[in-house]
Amino acid sequence: MSAFVPPPEAPPGQEPRRTRRILRCEACWLPPSLCICEKLAPMAVRTQLVLLVHHLERFKSSNTGRLVARMVPETIVRVHGDPSREPAMPLPEGRVLVLFPDAEARVLSADLVEGERAILMVPDGTWGQARRISRRDPDAQKALTVKLPEGQTTRFGALRRSEREGTMSTMEAVARALGILEGPEVEARMMQAFEAFLERTVYVRANASRVAMENPRGGR
Protein backbone atom coordinates (compact mmCIF):
# COMPACT_ATOMS: atom_id res chain seq x y z
CA MET A 1 0.00 0.00 0.00
CA SER A 2 2.87 2.38 0.78
CA ALA A 3 3.83 2.47 -2.90
CA PHE A 4 0.62 4.38 -3.54
CA VAL A 5 1.32 7.15 -1.05
CA PRO A 6 2.69 9.97 -3.23
CA PRO A 7 5.54 12.28 -2.21
CA PRO A 8 4.47 15.55 -0.51
CA GLU A 9 4.54 17.41 -3.82
CA ALA A 10 3.42 16.05 -7.16
CA PRO A 11 5.57 16.70 -10.24
CA PRO A 12 4.76 19.97 -12.07
CA GLY A 13 1.53 19.67 -14.00
CA GLN A 14 0.38 16.48 -12.30
CA GLU A 15 -1.70 17.94 -9.46
CA PRO A 16 -5.23 19.04 -10.49
CA ARG A 17 -5.62 22.82 -10.11
CA ARG A 18 -9.19 22.57 -8.91
CA THR A 19 -8.37 20.35 -5.92
CA ARG A 20 -4.73 21.04 -5.02
CA ARG A 21 -5.74 23.02 -1.91
CA ILE A 22 -7.66 20.10 -0.43
CA LEU A 23 -6.32 17.94 2.38
CA ARG A 24 -6.54 14.25 1.46
CA CYS A 25 -6.66 10.95 3.30
CA GLU A 26 -3.44 9.05 2.54
CA ALA A 27 -5.34 5.78 2.08
CA CYS A 28 -8.29 6.59 -0.21
CA TRP A 29 -7.06 10.09 -1.20
CA LEU A 30 -10.46 11.61 -0.71
CA PRO A 31 -10.91 14.60 1.64
CA PRO A 32 -11.32 13.53 5.30
CA SER A 33 -14.95 14.71 5.35
CA LEU A 34 -15.69 12.35 2.45
CA CYS A 35 -13.30 9.53 3.33
CA ILE A 36 -14.46 6.03 2.30
CA CYS A 37 -11.91 4.00 4.26
CA GLU A 38 -14.72 2.35 6.23
CA LYS A 39 -15.91 0.85 2.94
CA LEU A 40 -12.45 -0.56 2.13
CA ALA A 41 -12.42 -3.33 4.72
CA PRO A 42 -9.69 -5.87 3.87
CA MET A 43 -10.74 -9.08 2.13
CA ALA A 44 -8.99 -12.43 2.10
CA VAL A 45 -8.75 -13.84 -1.43
CA ARG A 46 -6.80 -16.77 -2.81
CA THR A 47 -5.81 -14.92 -5.98
CA GLN A 48 -2.50 -13.08 -5.77
CA LEU A 49 -2.97 -9.62 -7.25
CA VAL A 50 -0.03 -7.80 -8.82
CA LEU A 51 -0.62 -4.18 -9.80
CA LEU A 52 1.74 -2.83 -12.47
CA VAL A 53 1.43 0.88 -11.72
CA HIS A 54 2.68 3.67 -13.95
CA HIS A 55 4.54 6.03 -11.62
CA LEU A 56 2.36 9.05 -12.49
CA GLU A 57 -0.79 7.20 -11.38
CA ARG A 58 0.29 7.74 -7.77
CA PHE A 59 -0.50 11.44 -8.12
CA LYS A 60 -3.96 11.15 -9.68
CA SER A 61 -7.02 11.63 -7.51
CA SER A 62 -8.96 9.41 -9.93
CA ASN A 63 -6.64 6.43 -9.44
CA THR A 64 -8.47 3.35 -8.14
CA GLY A 65 -5.50 1.00 -7.86
CA ARG A 66 -4.82 2.33 -4.36
CA LEU A 67 -8.32 1.26 -3.35
CA VAL A 68 -7.68 -2.25 -4.67
CA ALA A 69 -4.46 -2.47 -2.65
CA ARG A 70 -6.36 -1.32 0.43
CA MET A 71 -9.10 -3.94 0.07
CA VAL A 72 -6.72 -6.76 -0.85
CA PRO A 73 -3.78 -6.16 1.54
CA GLU A 74 -1.57 -8.89 0.05
CA THR A 75 -1.51 -7.09 -3.30
CA ILE A 76 1.97 -6.73 -4.78
CA VAL A 77 2.56 -3.25 -6.19
CA ARG A 78 5.19 -2.72 -8.88
CA VAL A 79 5.78 0.91 -9.84
CA HIS A 80 7.00 1.31 -13.43
CA GLY A 81 8.85 4.34 -14.78
CA ASP A 82 10.34 5.47 -11.47
CA PRO A 83 14.15 5.02 -11.52
CA SER A 84 14.26 5.02 -7.72
CA ARG A 85 11.95 2.02 -7.37
CA GLU A 86 13.22 -1.12 -5.72
CA PRO A 87 13.82 -4.29 -7.78
CA ALA A 88 10.68 -6.40 -8.23
CA MET A 89 10.34 -9.31 -5.84
CA PRO A 90 9.79 -12.78 -7.36
CA LEU A 91 6.19 -13.87 -7.78
CA PRO A 92 4.81 -16.78 -5.77
CA GLU A 93 4.06 -20.11 -7.42
CA GLY A 94 0.90 -20.28 -9.48
CA ARG A 95 -0.72 -19.69 -12.85
CA VAL A 96 0.37 -16.22 -13.98
CA LEU A 97 -2.17 -14.19 -15.95
CA VAL A 98 -2.00 -10.60 -17.17
CA LEU A 99 -5.31 -8.80 -17.59
CA PHE A 100 -5.22 -6.74 -20.77
CA PRO A 101 -7.79 -6.74 -23.60
CA ASP A 102 -5.54 -7.60 -26.54
CA ALA A 103 -7.32 -9.00 -29.58
CA GLU A 104 -5.64 -12.38 -29.04
CA ALA A 105 -6.21 -12.49 -25.28
CA ARG A 106 -8.21 -15.41 -23.91
CA VAL A 107 -11.44 -14.78 -22.07
CA LEU A 108 -10.82 -15.07 -18.33
CA SER A 109 -12.41 -18.09 -16.68
CA ALA A 110 -11.76 -20.11 -13.55
CA ASP A 111 -10.88 -23.07 -15.77
CA LEU A 112 -7.69 -21.32 -16.90
CA VAL A 113 -6.24 -21.68 -13.42
CA GLU A 114 -6.66 -25.48 -13.48
CA GLY A 115 -6.52 -25.93 -9.71
CA GLU A 116 -3.46 -23.69 -9.29
CA ARG A 117 -3.33 -20.41 -7.45
CA ALA A 118 -4.05 -17.54 -9.83
CA ILE A 119 -1.42 -14.79 -10.03
CA LEU A 120 -3.32 -11.93 -11.67
CA MET A 121 -1.21 -9.06 -13.02
CA VAL A 122 -3.15 -5.87 -13.76
CA PRO A 123 -1.62 -2.78 -15.45
CA ASP A 124 -2.69 0.48 -13.80
CA GLY A 125 -2.46 3.57 -16.00
CA THR A 126 -3.82 5.05 -19.20
CA TRP A 127 -4.44 2.72 -22.13
CA GLY A 128 -1.07 3.46 -23.68
CA GLN A 129 0.77 3.20 -20.37
CA ALA A 130 -0.96 -0.08 -19.53
CA ARG A 131 -0.01 -1.56 -22.90
CA ARG A 132 3.64 -0.59 -22.49
CA ILE A 133 3.82 -1.86 -18.93
CA SER A 134 2.28 -5.21 -19.82
CA ARG A 135 4.88 -5.63 -22.58
CA ARG A 136 7.89 -4.55 -20.51
CA ASP A 137 7.37 -6.26 -17.17
CA PRO A 138 9.44 -9.47 -17.29
CA ASP A 139 6.80 -11.59 -15.57
CA ALA A 140 3.95 -10.14 -17.64
CA GLN A 141 5.87 -10.95 -20.82
CA LYS A 142 5.75 -14.65 -19.90
CA ALA A 143 2.17 -14.63 -18.61
CA LEU A 144 -0.99 -15.70 -20.38
CA THR A 145 -2.88 -12.59 -21.50
CA VAL A 146 -6.56 -12.65 -20.55
CA LYS A 147 -9.52 -10.31 -20.92
CA LEU A 148 -12.93 -9.94 -19.37
CA PRO A 149 -15.99 -11.38 -21.12
CA GLU A 150 -17.79 -9.20 -23.65
CA GLY A 151 -20.56 -6.88 -22.52
CA GLN A 152 -18.85 -5.34 -19.50
CA THR A 153 -19.83 -1.72 -18.83
CA THR A 154 -18.06 1.08 -17.00
CA ARG A 155 -18.99 4.28 -15.21
CA PHE A 156 -15.42 5.55 -15.02
CA GLY A 157 -16.02 7.98 -17.86
CA ALA A 158 -17.51 10.33 -15.27
CA LEU A 159 -13.97 10.80 -13.91
CA ARG A 160 -11.54 10.17 -16.73
CA ARG A 161 -11.81 10.07 -20.50
CA SER A 162 -10.03 7.24 -22.24
CA GLU A 163 -8.33 7.32 -25.61
CA ARG A 164 -10.04 4.01 -26.33
CA GLU A 165 -13.71 3.16 -26.01
CA GLY A 166 -14.74 0.34 -23.72
CA THR A 167 -11.94 0.71 -21.19
CA MET A 168 -12.65 0.72 -17.46
CA SER A 169 -11.00 1.66 -14.20
CA THR A 170 -8.50 -0.65 -12.55
CA MET A 171 -10.87 -1.28 -9.66
CA GLU A 172 -13.78 -2.21 -11.91
CA ALA A 173 -11.55 -4.57 -13.91
CA VAL A 174 -10.14 -6.22 -10.79
CA ALA A 175 -13.58 -6.55 -9.20
CA ARG A 176 -14.98 -8.30 -12.26
CA ALA A 177 -11.93 -10.52 -12.64
CA LEU A 178 -12.13 -11.57 -8.98
CA GLY A 179 -15.84 -12.16 -9.44
CA ILE A 180 -14.87 -14.82 -11.99
CA LEU A 181 -12.00 -16.29 -9.96
CA GLU A 182 -13.32 -15.86 -6.41
CA GLY A 183 -17.09 -15.45 -6.58
CA PRO A 184 -19.77 -12.74 -6.80
CA GLU A 185 -19.50 -11.61 -3.16
CA VAL A 186 -15.96 -10.32 -3.67
CA GLU A 187 -17.01 -8.48 -6.82
CA ALA A 188 -20.04 -6.94 -5.09
CA ARG A 189 -17.99 -5.60 -2.17
CA MET A 190 -15.42 -4.01 -4.44
CA MET A 191 -18.05 -2.48 -6.70
CA GLN A 192 -19.87 -0.98 -3.72
CA ALA A 193 -16.64 0.72 -2.65
CA PHE A 194 -16.01 1.86 -6.23
CA GLU A 195 -19.48 3.41 -6.50
CA ALA A 196 -18.88 5.36 -3.27
CA PHE A 197 -15.50 6.53 -4.56
CA LEU A 198 -16.99 7.58 -7.89
CA GLU A 199 -19.87 9.49 -6.31
CA ARG A 200 -17.67 11.37 -3.84
CA THR A 201 -14.89 12.16 -6.31
CA VAL A 202 -17.42 13.64 -8.73
CA TYR A 203 -18.78 15.71 -5.84
CA VAL A 204 -15.29 17.00 -4.98
CA ARG A 205 -14.68 18.08 -8.57
CA ALA A 206 -18.01 19.87 -8.78
CA ASN A 207 -17.64 21.56 -5.38
CA ALA A 208 -13.89 22.08 -5.06
CA SER A 209 -14.05 25.46 -3.31
CA ARG A 210 -16.50 24.30 -0.69
CA VAL A 211 -14.62 21.04 -0.08
CA ALA A 212 -11.33 22.97 0.22
CA MET A 213 -12.84 25.18 2.93
CA GLU A 214 -14.02 22.09 4.84
CA ASN A 215 -10.72 20.22 4.32
CA PRO A 216 -7.95 22.85 4.06
CA ARG A 217 -4.47 21.72 3.20
CA GLY A 218 -1.95 23.15 5.67
CA GLY A 219 0.38 25.86 4.49
CA ARG A 220 -1.65 26.75 1.40
Task: Answer yes or no: are the C-beta atoms of 110 and 180 closer than 8 Å.
Answer: yes
pLDDT at 89: 83
Per residue of the chain (220 residues), give pLDDT as tens.
Answer: 446 655 545 555 555 555 567 898 988 989 999 999 999 999 999 999 999 999 998 888 889 999 999 999 999 999 998 777 777 888 999 999 999 998 899 999 999 998 899 999 999 998 899 999 999 999 999 999 999 998 877 887 777 776 666 678 999 999 999 999 999 999 999 999 999 999 999 999 999 999 999 999 864 4
Domain boundaries, the chain: 25-149+166-211
Spatial distance between the Cα atoms of 182 and 131, rounded to a whole number of angstroms: 26
Cα–Cα distance, 27 to 189 (Å, whole number): 18
Q: What angle do CA 24, 73, 81 make, to 5 degrees?
A: 70
pLDDT at 155: 81
Provide long-range contacts, Cβ within 8 A and 24+ apart, for 111-119: 112/144, 112/146, 113/181, 117/46, 117/47, 117/48, 117/92, 117/93, 118/46, 118/47, 118/48, 118/94, 118/181, 119/47, 119/48, 119/50, 119/91, 119/92, 119/94, 119/95, 119/143
Distance CA 49, CA 77 (A): 9
Round to whole Å and give the CA distance between 110 and 182. Answer: 8
Percent composition of the chain: helix, strand, coil (DSSP 3-state, to 5): 40, 15, 45
Looking at residue 39, its pLDDT comes to: 95
Beta pairing, strands 76-80 & 48-54: parallel
pLDDT at 69: 95
Q: In what helix (H) or strand (E) does residue 26 lie, and over which residues does it extend?
A: none
Show the DSSP H helices in the chain as ranges. Answer: 65-71, 127-136, 138-142, 170-181, 184-206, 208-214
